[in-house]
Structure 1
Amino acid sequence: MDFDKKAIGERIKEYRLKRGFTQSDLANQADITRIALGNYERGERIPTIDIFARIAMALNASIDELMGYKPGQLSTIQQIKQDFANAGYELKEEVSTWWRYEITEPGEEYPFHIKTENDLKQIYQQIKCDVFRDLKKVWADNIHDALVDYERKLNKEENQAYLRIQMKLLEQMKPLSDKMMKAEAEGDTKTLGSLQETLFKLLEKSNIKGIGGTDKKK
């Protein structure tokens, strides 16, 4: 999908005038300079993603509206599936405890996994902004970049959570280990057996699947 920079600039101006804003009004609310806004409205420059989002928010409009993106009668998820398919990607909804969507890249064996519908929508919005910002790239390139960024961020968050769990486990095991050593030294097999059972349950509880995965996409 191609975006007309001049047309986008005209839409920004159109929405600004509808809101009764001067260029200075909108520039102040979007935290940009009036000169920069003028360049955007004339289609001479493309705003960065964060600036584009601030302009849309100040105008009480969606990024889609300002970009002239019209998905028609399809739902957001249907539109995402269609745009991904057009770029050669297969998006499937999964019934899994750990993720909601599976996305397979052309020619790749290992799929990307997306945890929630909201995550998928945010990734899609990022991709559309990237396509708008860098017209030399195609949808497939930006989809790949966005999915890799998401996977790396997710792995980092999950690894941090895993480390927190392990630290908590070690804190709980220390007093338990001391009691086991005491029971063993005293020959108290009944207490030792009970403590061992508690230890096994603690280890089983800490074995959370889906954490500590590897970054398969390079």
Structure 2
Amino acid sequence: MKEVISLELKTTFANRLKVLRGFRMLTLEELSKMVDIPAQTLNRYELGQRIPKIDVVAQIASKMNINPMWLCGYSDAISEQYATLDLHLSKLGYSLLWDGDSDHSFVVHSPEGNVYILGEEELKKLQDSTEAFISYTIQDILKDCKKIK
């Protein structure tokens, strides 16, 4: 079982690292300088010849301002900024995916099968609206609860 998980993680990490580098239009050398990891090591990750340790994943994610869970294939939200929104949407049957083929676009699949393309601005509005609605709902519910302190 461990071999299957390692192979799956290695393949996912390799693909997502390549997608990230392509999305940011970086050469291996440029990415190497940004994340302080030798280009040869990054190349081996992209080829699936090596799998990084968790601290290396965290280092790459931090320097590239992305969600480390996305990099490893455990989340569809590339940005930690949208990870909470992704969680809320998934509970409602929606999925939020980063469109790696275009600049700063996200794809939302609805439970009804509709597909929507959102830019960064629309996604930010969706996140702000969701947070405002949740905050309002919490306050509305709590006003009828007994306050103990």
Structure-1-length-normalised TM-score: 0.31
Judging by fraction of residues, say which structure has more helix.
Answer: 1
Structure-2-length-normalised TM-score: 0.44
Judging by fraction of residues, say which structure has more strand.
Answer: 2
